[in-house]
Chain A
Amino acid sequence: MKTWVDLQTDSFLDANARQRAIGLVDEGSFTELAGPMDRLQSPHLPLLGEAVEFDDGIVTGVGLIAKRAVFIASQEGRFIGGAVGEVHGAKMVATLKLALDSYEKMKKDNPSLPDNRGPVAVISFETGGVRLHESNAGLLAHAEVVDQIQKCRGKVPVIAVIGSKVGCFGGMGFVAAQTDVSIMSPFGRLGLTGPEVIEQEMGKDEFDSSDRSLVYRTTGGKHKYILGDANYLVEDSIGSFRQKLSEVLSLSQDEINAHRRIGSLRLVENQLNKVRLSITLKPKDSKDVWKYAGNDNPESLVDLSTSDFLSVARRLKFMAANEEV
């Protein structure tokens, strides 16, 4: 049986959803909510003859990091690709809502609650988005998650951790972008449209979905770090993610806000710089963007270890009049 100490050095990529949830918070502090013993399975999958799971492919619960409540939703990619159905989606929504309700309660009991002592929410993404077999309910659940994320803003920091096999795609790609802070490993992938669909739309010459290196360069952690979509890039271990998470949790709410990639008019203007760059640069490959960002030999970054990459990689920066330095 894996102990919490074992989990810290374990690969995040290979860990299952429950191991990630347990290992991301302080030792022995995780309490699972709506766990497998509750048998809250999908009512829809059996009608289509599809296998069910007791937790519907998501581990939800609460733990502590330095005595601070951390509400976690951790998706399991091995169950139908971590896809979001009615129960799975409701568990994620409820996790965020519990964090927010807890914040309101703590704030009421203690109006001078320091802004880095309230609850936080962490989503460990591993999903392709909506679950086809119950797609309408999955889609509606996504909209509820977005609603909760907006409601949490300025109150409950919501943090994305991405470093699992399936990556984070489809509607959950929006949700990850909408969080306050994102932490990825080089094995994490984040995007909207999966590689096969891009190939189908654009042809194999433009995008060969079987080229794993190309797939990683386009949506992987290193690219997302250079682009600014990942605030932090960490090694592939549960302990590295936990360490970064605890650093982030010591920040003030203003500092957390400064990590946002989207969510204001100013940030829209900043993102539009990238859209304009897309038109002028017309990159054939992410490496063209890495070069533009100041990495003279982008090819050399591909195989660098995480720490070497972090010491040399230059990130995309735009000089904008309205941007704070």
Chain B
Amino acid sequence: MSTKSAEPRLLGRILGRDAAIAQLIIVTLVIFVLMTVLNSGRFLSYYNFESMTYLMPELGILCIAMMIAMLTGGIDLSVVAIANLAAITAGVYFRNPIVAETMGAGGAALILHTIAGVMIALMVGLAAGLLNGILISRLRIIPILATLGTGQVFGGLALVLTGGPAIVGYPPTWNWIGTGKLLGVATPFWIMIIVASVVAILLRRTNLGVNLMLIGTNARAAIFAGIRSSRMILYSYALSGVLAAIAGILLSGRTNSAKADFGSSYLLQAVLIAVLGGTNPAGGKGRVLGVLLALLALTFLSSGLQMMRVSNFMIDAVWGGFLVLVIAINYLRSAK
């Protein structure tokens, strides 16, 4: 008896008693089937799925970063700028003649400097996230305006560092992060899985996660209950900044370059996927699993449309249309 019930219970725990998740699974499947039918043979190919595992992670991690900011009713409009700034700062480090020379020798030095580069990028992300967090939690600037402003500052600093053109010539080890394989699966995909699992555990099983949900539900009550709200909000934006930096590493590793205005369409997509994945932009609700499912659905959609030779501009329009559709569906569902 007990073994029988264990399985659905585990499944139930992962899926949660969440109607939104079930709905997302259906949407994802419908899009999958539709794209398979419309692109007979090509969509269901190993190559197509492999390329998705390289393209999806950078956006996926940005979406998770966006969701974290939304949990407390905020938003982080600076994620893409942070990603670029982090990648560019690492690129500047690698361009340093001394670093470049020792790295050229290969071996351990190459790996050590790559690790240093990763650390630099993560530190930049952390610092940027902390700045957002301080502006929002201490100076009480509302998140939209604070991150709109810091987004400009970070993007501007990225521009100052590069002087305009893209930074190219990352070391091969760096590119491996974006293009390599581990156990037959794309490295960036592994990284996304790890990030998603860590954040999922963080949100469900730790103090910080539960506190963020509660703050997002009722910020005033959170103070009366003794939650250290402003510290928790600070942490959440710091986390969001670090995740953005990871996305920046993946993006620059994949394209072997970094530029101040890379991936600008990611911002809208990250908001869309977070909301589609069941995150409430007013706060208090959001799940990593939902975001990943929404990411999958929209990756299928845009990959399928690309195969049908729909222009990228039209795909942008479809994404926007999808966002509006999701808003409408969510409204109608909650009105019931």
Q: Does chain A bind chain B?
A: no
A interface with B by C-beta (< 8 Å): none
B interface with A by C-beta (< 8 Å): none
